[in-house]
Structures are given as C-alpha cells and as structure tokens.
Amino acid sequence: MINNTYFIAGHAKLPQGMAAKSVFDTLTITAEIDAKYGVILEASCTLATEHGKSYVGQLLRGFSLREGIAEPIRALQHHYRGRAANALIAALKDLHMQYEQLNLS
C-alpha cells in the first residue's frame, strides 16, 4: 500500500501552558494520504498524551483532502475541546497546503 500513499506533515505553534510545549515548540499533524482519492488513511499529532494523539487520528481518518479542509476543521472544532484546538486547526491547514502542492487534487 505504501506505493499508493503519501506521508504529509503540517505544523503550527503551540500555545503557552500546554504540556506538549515542554517537549515541542510546534504541534505537528502527520497523515498518510491515499494518492488516488486524497483520503486520510491514518493521522497522528504531537499532543502530549497518547489518548489525545489517538483521538485526533481517529477524528481525521476518512476525510478526503481533495474535497477541501472545511469538514475536518468543523470536526475538530466540534469534537476537540482542548487548549490546542487552534494549533490543531492551523496544522491541519498547513497539512492541506502541503497536499495541494502535490498537484493531485
């Protein structure tokens, strides 16, 4: 399957006071993207807890970046209520920009 996917990362600054800030200066969302349809097959992020990483990954899985970024942003805004919400959205927007630079959509 690796020949049919891309690995893309998006980055954003973390807000002050975050647990992850002691380890990372930026928040990163990484995603394995299906090359044909732009669907997020798996995603992860650099939140401090495994539960947070897993939750964000499950939340983003299945969205197609070919269809834009509005729906995954709405999902994050609705379901994720942590302090890193704005950083996650900024990192997701950066990830989408990286995807668009592949000239696949």
73 falls within a domain = yes
Segment among 3-7, 19-23, 92-96 with least mean pLDDT = 19-23
pLDDT at residue 20, rounded to an integer: 46
105 falls within a domain = no
Residue 9: φ, ψ to 5°: -125, 145
Over pLDDT 70: what percentage of the chain?
Answer: 87
Q: How confident is the model at residue 77 (pLDDT cuts 50, 70, 90)?
A: very high
Whole domain around residue 30: which residue ranges? 2-100
85 falls within a domain = yes
DSSP alpha helix (H) spans, 12-101: 50-60, 70-79, 85-100
Mean pLDDT over residues 9-34, rounded? 77
Domain count, the chain: 1
| Mean pLDDT of the chain, nearest integer | 88
The Cα–Cα gap between 79 and 102 comes to: 29
Residue 48 has pLDDT above 50, yes or no: yes
Output the domain CATH number for residue 60: 3.90.1010.10
